[in-house]
Amino acid sequence: MKKPENTSTVRATRSLVLGGRGFVGTPLIDALLDQGHVVRCFDRPNVVALGASHVENPNFELCEGDFTSEADISEALQGCDFCFHLVSTTLPKSSNADPIFDVESNLVGTIRLLTLAVEAGIKKVIFVSSGGTVYGDPVELPIPETHPTEPVCSYGIAKLAIEKYLALFHRLHGLDYTVLRLANPFGEGQRTHASQGAVAVFLGKVLRNEPIEIWGDGSVVRDYIHVADVVQALLTSLEPSGKEHVFNIGSGRGHSLNDVLDAIEKITGRKAIRDYQHARGFDVPFSVLSIERARDVLGWAPAVSFEEGLKRFVEWLEKTSSASLP
């Protein structure tokens, strides 16, 4: 993946990346190291790294542990200036099956994190929220940050509650924060055998000549953003916050599931085997984010089109999976 340009004027510091072995965390760590930061990666011991190139970098530190462990998080925070919170223990489609676990692991775990961050003297927490779930059924399109928040899954409720606690800790303790409400990220490094991420899952199945289950008629529209643009937004968020703390991060454009498959077929030259199923009740029919606030306040804008991002993803898969797909 193309390395991000330096989009932050913040001097080199030590940043903690919670979930640093993941799809977004891995290129974020690479970008931070490229800018001269010392980076501490925190993740579970059993998480397989996504072929990270930074493991031998002298400014890279690995810290393994459990996000719900006070001792592990406290140790990870020590000596850090910034904390990127990319951890989530649940998925939107499965969170309603066990909302207690969702609250205990994600919400309570994050409140514990914020308490420890204040004690450790963290300057700022940057939290990745969900632009696809916190708003619920849209009453305005594209969806601005001022849109009503009526999530229809526990995952979105927990994300929204975390946002509120970040605001509370800012008010009570002066802890700076930025919330990035992401659209649907995709691109190099994303696992094609995963249980979420339509672009990656669809692409993997097309390349493996496997049938693709589509819930509904394929008309569900989502906002897809390339991972390189997500990393740019995260880097920009290192700057001290002004009046605004919450930002939508998306492409500003919508693509239906059928559009995604059409594009994959065009780029790969392969036919998708489409298996249409009954629609799911929790799927919002249309979700595209307004990104004007991020443009105006952060000076951020997406630079990679959906088609270009998909081409990069396919090329990456071809280079890294000559024998088998990830």
Q: Is the peptide bond before 27 cis (omega within 30 degrees of 0)?
A: no
pTM for the whole structure: 0.93
Q: What is the CATH number of the domain that holds 61?
A: 3.40.50.720
**Tokens (6 digits) for 67:** 């996000």
- pLDDT on residue 257: 97
CA distance 177 to 170: 7
Residue 88 forms part of a structural domain:
yes
- pLDDT on residue 255: 98
pLDDT tens for the chain, 326 residues long, are: 444 454 556 666 999 999 999 999 999 999 999 999 999 999 999 877 766 678 889 999 999 999 999 999 999 999 999 999 999 999 988 899 999 999 999 999 999 999 999 999 999 999 999 999 999 999 999 999 999 999 999 999 999 999 999 999 999 999 999 999 999 999 999 999 887 899 999 999 999 999 999 999 999 999 999 999 999 999 999 999 999 999 999 999 999 999 999 999 999 999 999 999 999 876 778 999 999 999 999 999 999 999 999 999 999 998 887 434 44
**Tokens (6 digits) for 286:** 């249309």
Residue 263 forms part of a structural domain:
no
Residue 163 forms part of a structural domain:
yes
The tally of CA atoms less than 13 A away on the side-chain side of residue 69 is 12
Host domain of residue 47: 14-186+224-251
The tally of CA atoms less than 13 A away on the side-chain side of residue 301 is 5
Residue 326 forms part of a structural domain:
no
Q: Tell me the residue length of the chain.
A: 326
Q: Which amino acid is at 91?
A: L
> How many structural domains compose the chain?
1
Residue 44 forms part of a structural domain:
yes
- pLDDT on residue 51: 64
Which of 135, 155, 177, 224 is flagged as catalytic?
A: 155
Three state DSSP letters for the chain? CCCCCCCCCCCCCEEEEECCCCCCHHHHHHHHHHCCCEEEEEECCCCCCCCCCCCCCCCEEEEECCCCCHHHHHHHHCCCCEEEECCCCCCHHHHCCCHHHHHHHHHHHHHHHHHHHHHHCCCEEEEEEECCCCCCCCCCCCECCCCCCCCCCHHHHHHHHHHHHHHHHHHHHCCEEEEEEECEEECCCCCCCCCCCHHHHHHHHHHCCCEEEEECCCCCEECEEEHHHHHHHHHHCCCCCCCCCEEEECCCCCEEHHHHHHHHHHHHCCCCEEEEECCCCCCCCECCECCHHHHHHHCCCCCCCHHHHHHHHHHHHHHHCCCCCC
155 is annotated as an active-site residue = yes
- pLDDT on residue 324: 45
Residue 209 forms part of a structural domain:
no
Residue 136 forms part of a structural domain:
yes
CA distance 155 to 181: 13
- pLDDT on residue 326: 42
Tokens 């001097």 map to which residue?
A: 11
Residue 125 forms part of a structural domain:
yes
